[in-house]
Amino acid sequence: MRKNENELMLISESLKAMAHPDRINILSLLGQKEKVRFSVTQICDKLKLNQPEVSRHLSILKNKGVLLFEREGSNIYYSLNKDNIVFSCIEKLFDKK
């Protein structure tokens, strides 16, 4: 099934946003379990990255719709946006059916 031009642009922009080793690492961390969410501090601690760098990567991923975020008090928690079209396309690429 051929995607329309808007879907193709969304997929392309999402993949561009994901195409950095640290961002792939962040996505891998957030994708470990079904309902995983982490704060910036937790991501920094787990991946041994500095806070400004992680915040910049999270902002890029969030702005392209790859991540969701929830604010709880002074903390912001990030999780994968499983409704982003790029994730369903990736799943289809690796589907063994």
**Any idea where the domains of the chain sit in the sequence?**
5-93
In this predicted structure, the answer to whether residue 96 has a pLDDT above a threshold of 70 is no
Stretch 65-85: mean pLDDT: 92
**How would you classify residue 65: left for phi > 0, otherwise alpha for psi between -120 and 50, otherwise beta?**
left
Q: Tell me the pLDDT band of 29, cut-offs 50, 70 and 90.
A: very high
C-alpha dihedral sign at 67, 64, 19, 57: negative
> Which architecture, in CATH terms, is 5-93?
Orthogonal Bundle (1.10)
Q: What is the pLDDT of residues 52-61, one digit of tens each?
A: 999 999 999 9
Please name the helix (run of DSSP H) or strand (run of DSSP E) that holds residue 83, with its range, or none: none
The pTM score is 0.83
